[in-house]
Chains A and B, each alone.
Chain A
């Protein structure tokens, strides 16, 4: 940047961020840094307005990785997805670098690039109470949250650091800033401490960081607002001592229940194309519930197996609801996002299409609403009944399976314990709809 050999700050942002990582500390002066014995490698990639290009930043990532960086802090973001930059992040990580990036300040459910690339630690910002800062972006790519300040509560709730004056670069000032840029160096600083205290690989650093993160207020598991939680430097340093010879964390180290933690790499992996790569469990649930529904019907009301149950009109909606368009993986490209979306069970892909990535499961999608509305049409058009019967049994199967698999967090519901009764109630409604749809009308 600026085509010169030094990386002097002419903007004021970078020095503030660097101060949070490695400010001269314990010198009875001013402020402190997180990893104050760390060595900084300032690489200037943004101009004096604070903006830069994908190409320059990608070059800088590779340069830093080649020149011995252990941690790369990128308090920057924006632009579209770039293969060049994604590869640069992957390259750095392969070389053993932890890449820490700000989630963004859009205050919306979209994590900016580079934070959203696989291999990057995406950081959201929390204010002084531990609640998500109003400006902080969030989403399914989030890894952790860290203090980023919240000046909407007053200037003193920003993050104080020593930097250059934005209007007069020769002047040194102490400034309160707030932003995900301020949160990111807290994480980068702890990452540096972990390398200095026994962590050998980025995997180990990330495991210790994530496992030791403390829950934000109201957080019960991985969340798209806080990732694994708010970083805790002291706990992270304890966690890194519990990594065994295989690089695995010892059991009991993690503070949060890990079962719902999505892996960052599942998105880019192509779908498996084998028979057992299909998740049959919701379908099996639906089949079990179908048997139950049939048993509740009297002999005269029971549908003939050949005239309803084995017809495509019944089986296809049932399969699409519980298995998704499962054969798309054999027809289309198994790594394309469309194929990955539609091979999910119907409620899951509706959820993705309507509410976008990273949002919490919508309770209306995971309810009896869709079969119920569809069943109104079957009052008039009787030929629709097997189709809606298949749909309802499919929904009942999904809802039953979801409960059995320990219920996802539903949006809007304030307590996760409400999710199970909600799913159970709607599952039963679906069974009633299915029963009504499959019931053979008594001959008049």
Chain B
């Protein structure tokens, strides 16, 4: 699944990286590489949405990034 949006660091729980999607939803970021972790970075990413897992972050479904490019 392709998603675009902005990478954000949220200081919640132990600190979490989220993708604020252009679809209006917030995803818990997973996968990708270290360069993805840049607050404010706009990306277009391909990956899978996992809305089954439960997390300690509780900010939204996990989005496991397979590949991405920054815009």
- Which A residues are CB-close (under 8 A) to B54? 46, 51-54, 57, 76-79, 113-114
Interchain CB contact (< 8 A) of B13 among A80, A114, A137, A181: A181
- Which B residues are CB-close (under 8 A) to A113? 54
Interchain CB contact (< 8 A) of A105 among B52, B57, B62: B57
Judge if A179 is at the interface, Cβ distance under 8 Å.
yes
- Contact B11–A178 (Cβ < 8 Å): yes
Q: How far is the CA of A13 from the CA of B57 in the complex (A)?
A: 9
Q: Is the interface of B mostly helix, strand, loop or mixed?
A: loop
- Contact B11–A77 (Cβ < 8 Å): no
Judge if B41 is at the interface, Cβ distance under 8 Å.
no
Q: B38-71 vs A: 1/0 string, CB under 8 Å?
A: 0000000000000111111111111000000000
Chain A nearest CB: distance from B42 CB in Å? 22
Judge if A221 is at the interface, Cβ distance under 8 Å.
no
- Contact B53–A11 (Cβ < 8 Å): no
- Contact A106–B26 (Cβ < 8 Å): yes
Q: Is the interface of A mostly helix, strand, loop or mixed?
A: loop
Give chain A interface residues in 148-197, CB to chain B under 8 Å: 151-152, 166, 175, 177-182
How extensive is the interface on chain B, given as a class? 20 to 34
Q: How far is the CA of A317 from the CA of B57 in the complex (A)?
A: 47
Judge if A49 is at the interface, Cβ distance under 8 Å.
yes
Of B14, B53, B58, the most chain A CB neighbours within 10 A belong to B58
Give chain A interface residues in 373-420, CB to chain B under 8 Å: none
Interchain CB contact (< 8 A) of A76 among B11, B30, B55: B55
Give chain B interface residues in 1-41, CB to chain A under 8 Å: 10-15, 26, 28, 30
- Which B residues are CB-close (under 8 A) to A77? 54-55, 58
- Contact A79–B10 (Cβ < 8 Å): no
CB within 8 Å of B: which residues of A? 11-14, 16, 46, 49-54, 57, 75-80, 102, 104-106, 112-114, 135, 137, 151-152, 166, 175, 177-182
| Given pairs A51-B54, A175-B14, A181-B13, 9 additional interface contacts (CB within 8 A) | A46-B55, A50-B13, A54-B54, A76-B58, A78-B53, A78-B55, A113-B54, A137-B58, A178-B12
Sample (6) of A-B pairs whose CB atoms are under 8 Å apart: A13-B13, A53-B53, A77-B55, A106-B26, A178-B12, A181-B58
